[in-house]
Structures are given as C-alpha cells and as structure tokens.
Amino acid sequence: MRRVALIVNPYASRVDDESTEGVRDVLRRVAEVTVMRTERRGHGVELASVLRGDLDAVVVYSGDGGFNEVLNGLRDPVPIGFVPGGGASVLPRALGLPRDPVEAAQELADALEVGRTRRISLGRVNGRRFTFSAGIGLDAELVRRVDERGRDEEHGRAGDLWFAVAAGKLLFERRGRLDPVLEVEGHGRAAFALVANADPYSYAGPLPLRIAPEARFELGLDLVAPRAIRPRVLARYAGYALFGRGQQRAEDIIYAHDADRIVVRCDEPQPLQADGEDLGDVSEAVFEAERDAVAVLV
C-alpha cells in the first residue's frame, strides 16, 4: 500500500474541516494517508523536515506560504503535490490543477496511482527556496502592508482587493514615482526587482499577471526590473503585467531570461519576499536557480 503524508494548514483562507476530510478521503483511494496539521508560522518547515524517503508522496493542502514552507523543509527526494487552499494558490494553478481542492486532490491521486510526475526547478533567494516568484522592493513592500492587516483563524490573509488598495495607496504616497534604489549586478540601476520561476508571476483574482512571460518551471530564473517609475509609464507597465508583451524590448526595464544567478544590492535595506512571504529587510539579495529540483504530482 502506498503511503502519503498530507500536511494541512488549517489557517489558510479556503481550508476547513469538511474540505480537509474530502481531500483526505480522495487520497485514501490510492494510499494510506497520515494527516499532519500546522499550528503556527514556520511549522510546515518543521513537519516536512522529519519526513523520509519511505513515503510515496507528500501532499500539501494550504496556500502558497504553506507550500513554500514544506519545500524548504523537505530533506529527502519524495514526490510532492499541492492542493489549493489559499486565496491565490498561485503554484497549483500555474501547474494546471483545478482551484477546487477535492478536484485537485483527485488529479493528484490519479497521478500518484500511475506514477505521473513533472520535474521542476526552484529558486533560492539568500538561501530560501521559492516556487514561482520573489521580489525586492515594491512587491515585497505590498506583501508587508497587506500582512500588517493581520491574519485571522477564520479568513486567513487579506485577499486581492487589499493588495490593490495597498498598491494604490503606496503609489499615491510617492506621487507615482519610484526612484532607482537598487544595483542589479551586470545590468545597472533599478527601482525594484521581480524574479520569476514561472509564468504567471501571480494572479489578481482570475487574471494572470504575466510579469515574465518567458519564465518556465523547467528553466532558470527570469528578472524584470524597471529602472524607475514615473506617472506617465504606469499604464504601460500595467499592460505589460496583464498581457505579457513588450517588457523584454523596453529600454527602461531590465530583463533577463533563464538565469542561474542574479545579484541585487540596495542603497539602503529593502523589503524582500518569496512566494508572497515577507523575509524582512536586506541590503543584498542573491537569487539562484535550483534546476531539476523536485518531482511534483501533476
């Protein structure tokens, strides 16, 4: 009989007892399932670190933060699957899984039964793994502002609306201007830097944000770093994000594709995020590609 560890984040915005039972029951069709629940931030790293290679798979039912924690805790090369339980759940959506958790679990169970996996790369920033995106400056500041609203046991993290509100407020405070405050090694000055391991970079509700349209899970890292932000370019940059065209040729945007290493140095410490998790302020960020890092159930 196959053995699966199901790690559940009960505080994720779309996770509850009923859906957890549904996910577990679906997986039980093909495996013996041990359920492990996180109790606090960072607990996913601890739970994953004690898992060993005698498992046939690890399945995580959470939002993107929980997925990130488990991937940072895994020590043995065991296949892993992701069930969407957060408001955005960018990773499973980018891997092509349904948004409904039970339907996603059914696809993972089918994949486990026939041994269907996909090898993907991961990113690292200052040693911390990330799955789809990381950034220094603007987007990390937005993550922090939304987190400052707090998370509650019932609803989890604030949703897309609050990110939009935070972005509008930040740009209003700075009068639509963001000056260069970073040095991207080998490329020059930038206002902020976005690093993608996949396309899309994230989602705004149902809309994919195509920040780095050439990024792929099987490749290295892509970089998008505007040299400066001024009010006159905001509409053009919004178009880039929504349609994924043009930034590779724009002279006021630094773009790199399929990179193994990206080094960013700050004039003064800037906020850093990975997979939507605030990693604090840093003076330097070293982004590295971890190619062919993990097998995922798809």
Structure tokens at 72: 């940072």
Backbone angles phi, psi at 292, to 5 degrees: 50, 50
Q: In the prediction, which pLDDT does 153 show?
A: 43
What pLDDT digit, counting tens, does each position of 135-147 carry?
999 999 999 998 8
Instruction: Provide the b/e sequence for 222-252 (b: ≥16 CB within 10 Å).
Output: bbbbbbebeeebeeebeebbeebeebbebee
Q: Helix or strand or coil: residue 145? A: helix
Check: CB of residue 93 under 8 Å from CB of residue 131.
Answer: no
User: Which regions in the chain score pLDDT beneath 70?
Assistant: 150-162
Rounded Cα distance, 158 and 167, in Å: 14
Among 56, 53, 59, 13, smallest CA distance to 36 is for 59
Structure tokens at 62: 């959470």
pTM: 0.92
Check: CB of residue 86 under 8 Å from CB of residue 62.
Answer: yes
Among 99, 114, 98, 206, smallest CA distance to 160 is for 206
Q: In the prediction, which pLDDT does 205 show?
A: 83
Structure tokens at 26: 């679906």
Backbone angles phi, psi at 235, to 5 degrees: -65, -40
- Find where tokens 């330097």 sit: 284
Q: In the prediction, which pLDDT does 114 show?
A: 96
What pLDDT digit, counting tens, does each position of 196-250 carry?
999 999 998 888 999 999 999 999 999 999 999 999 998 999 898 888 888 877 8
Rounded Cα distance, 167 and 161, in Å: 10
Q: In the prediction, which pLDDT does 169 show?
A: 87
